[in-house]
Amino acid sequence: MTRVTLAQLDPTIALGPLDGRYRADAAPLVDHLSEAALNRNRIHVEVEWFIHLADAGVVPGTRALLDEERAHLRSIVTGFDQETISQLAMFEAVTVHDVKAVEYAIKEALSHVGAEDLSELVHFCCTSEDINNLSYAVGIKDAVETVWLPRAAALIDALAAMALELADVPMLSHTHGQPATPTTMGKEVAVVVHRLHRQYDRIAATEYLGKINGATGTYAAHAVTVPDADWPRIAQTFVEGLGLTFNPLTTQIESHDWQAELYADVARFNRIAHNLATDMWTYISMNYFTQIPVEGATGSSTMPHKVNPIRFENAEANLELSCALLDSLASTLVTSRLQRDLTDSTSQRNIGVALGHSLLALNNLVKGLDKLAINTAALDADLDANWEVLAEAIQSVMRAAYLQGVPGMDNPYEKLKELTRGHRVGREELVEFVRGLGLPEPETERLAALTPATYTGLAADLARAKGRAWRERSAG
């Protein structure tokens, strides 16, 4: 039996999940990193280069640009729509060259306002990469600053609020998976806030570089055509006018080092978020957090009692996919054979996919955190079952007493190891041990009153300080 292919049935059926199942999460990136967005940015760059040259009278013999001509050209960008997309596709079908199609579309627009005499100023002295590198830089900058960074900030906001809310909630630590010196849940969350905050600031400070210096980066066509012009200065003011940082020395391509730096930073942010996802999954499995059920949702198809930590699992997988793509882009884009090869052309078309998987993961983490409730009963039970963690406190006080000349305080670590390692001890055994040490009365009473739940040091203060620091930074 012959079946109809799905691509024939409906050409809009998506191959990938970011354009299918997860379209809503990834959709904000479409305006910046899709093929259509790239073409809109190409028109933007071509139009602004045309205006830049015309307004400065760089090429002798060209007349001044009329206000209505300038406005008409810029309206192609602001009014970019399906008709423009179709027009570009029509031109590309003939040229078999995407940037040349953009050039022809702009020349046609000039003809509509009677400015054909200026048509050869379009794409003047440019190679395709002059337009592409700037178009990608504009799109990536807008995507990171208006879409990705706000979602990253939303995740840190949620964690900072959690750090403040849970600052005083004591929790047994688990170094190497074993019971360890207690902390507070808020302090552990604050650690993630601090880690993500550092990476966020690195990403926010990214320099987006661009160049417009010709076929091999020498301004050869520029210099032979208009030898008296200061072309490096003209190029710099143009690139900076697009909101980018000027790269003064390149081959045919802008070297993409800034992209590699950005993707490494985003991947590092992703990996810290991945650590958050796996830790939260583990805390849920330990019953430290319970999940608030969503009305009408199914946790398991066969086990009605289950509420699965799917948000954290989804985030974990998508962060791994994002990092794999970002790592590939970072390693591929910094290499180009001799003065130019085209490996970057197909690689860069996946930038939106790489950031899309990250964006999807950040959204899931925020949603997952929103559905967590702290289970203080489980936390308290674990603390009360592990009194031996106070051995660190006792032997540390003994060390200080030894240094102050108190007799009987020698070998404190060994004495506590003998008492606690390999078997469980409770409050009674520890209090009896402390009272038999011969410590000064204040130290004896302080240690006798200590519990695993109160042995959290400065954890609460650290959590509050970091939570407030992020909030102040966000407000500022």
Active-site residue among 300, 345, 396, 474?
300
Q: Do residues 171 and 154 make contact, with C-beta atoms less than 8 angstroms apart? A: no
Residue-level length of the chain: 476
Cα–Cα distance, 281 to 275 (Å, whole number): 10
Amino acid letter for position 179: P
Q: Do residues 141 and 259 make contact, with C-beta atoms less than 8 angstroms apart? A: no
Cα–Cα distance, 29 to 117 (Å, whole number): 38
Q: Do residues 196 and 159 make contact, with C-beta atoms less than 8 angstroms apart? A: yes
Amino acid letter for position 27: A
Q: Which residues, in sequence order, are CB contacts of 423 under 8 Å at separation 6+?
A: none
**Beta pairing partners, 344:** none
Cβ count within 10 A of residue 127: 20
- Which residues in 229-343 belong to E strands, given as ranges? 245-246, 289-291
Cα–Cα distance, 474 to 224 (Å, whole number): 51
Task: Pick the closest to residue 49 from 111, 114, 147, 138 (CA basis).
Answer: 138
Active-site residue among 176, 301, 305, 423?
176
300 is annotated as an active-site residue: yes
- Retrieve residue 291's tokens: 């999940």
In angstroms, how far is the first alpha carbon of the chain from the final one? 66
Cα–Cα distance, 52 to 46 (Å, whole number): 10
Q: At what angle do helices 23-33 and 35-56 cross, to 10 degrees?
A: 20
Cα–Cα distance, 215 to 338 (Å, whole number): 13
Q: How large is the C-alpha radius of gyration of the chain?
A: 31
Cα–Cα distance, 419 to 397 (Å, whole number): 16
Residue with tokens 């592990």: 386
Give the active site residues. 176, 300
